[in-house]
Amino acid sequence: MKCTLCGSPLINKLEEQYYDCVTCKAIVKDEAFFLSPEEERARYETHNNDVDDVRYQNFTMPITNHVLEHFLPHHKGLDFGSGTGPVISSMLGKQGYSIVQYDPFFAPDKSLLNNHYDYIVSCEVFEHFYNPKTEIDQLVSILNTNGMLLIMTDVYNDQIDFSTWYYRNDPTHVFIYRRETIEYIARQNKLEVDVLTDRLVVFRKPA
């Protein structure tokens, strides 16, 4: 098996289900443990993502606040992987912002991926990418110059006990990022990293 981001051969097993990529430092799930599309969708349908749930709104606030601070209502946004409850789109829409939703299971209008956007938000999505290089390349290609790609995903560090980590134990999580992985993506796609915390990543596409 090769790394689905950088293409390097995966030879180091972190544990039974996951490889440790020596090149981009990602943690990549062994494809033998992938769910079927039907199993994956069923798992997502159990998520209780109510757009009016204050806890869910607060959870996604790092992305929502960053958009409100850096963009105006007339800027075009895409909520990529919006899921069963597009709370970020809902919150921004209430502020008059123009944002559309795409999700391969729940809002599968692929024509939206032919447009260009000033910002793209993706909350708890990047860890589900079976082909992260393809997905990220596509998102960068439809991002306008000076646009931002805002991602919420838990970034792994070696102080975390991987075997008991909740991110590892979600069967739909197939690709996990370290800080070095984020930096690799930035280099490969000529992006600036404006924000990199343990939960929030903001890439900017420079002129």
How do strand 18-20 and strand 27-29 relate by DSSP bridges?
antiparallel
- CATH no., domain 12-204: 3.40.50.150
Domain boundaries, the chain: 12-204
Instruction: Determine the pLDDT at residue 181.
Output: 99
Return d(Cα 170, Cα 159) in angstroms, integer. Answer: 19
- Residue 110 near residue 151, CB atoms below 8 Å: no
DSSP secondary structure string, 87-109? HHHHHHHHTT-EEEEEBTTTB--
Diameter over CA atoms, the chain? 49
- Among 19, 24, 61, 27, smallest CA distance to 152 is for 61
DSSP class of residue 68 equals H
pLDDT under 50 in the chain at which residues?
Answer: none
DSSP secondary structure string, 47-72? ----TT-HHHHHHTHHHHHHHHHH--
CA distances from 28 to 9, 67, 121, 194 (A): 11, 30, 23, 25
Grouping H, G, I as helix, E, B as strand and the rest as coil, residue 188 is helix
Instruction: Determine the pLDDT at residue 46.
Output: 79
Counted residue by residue, the chain has a size of 207
Instruction: Determine the pLDDT at residue 118.
Output: 99
Instruction: Determine the pLDDT at residue 48.
Output: 65
DSSP class of residue 79 equals E
Give the tens place of pLDDT for each residue, 119-157.
999 999 999 999 999 999 999 999 999 999 999 999 999
Residue 100, beta-bridge partner list = 78
Return d(Cα 109, Cα 83) in angstroms, integer. Answer: 13
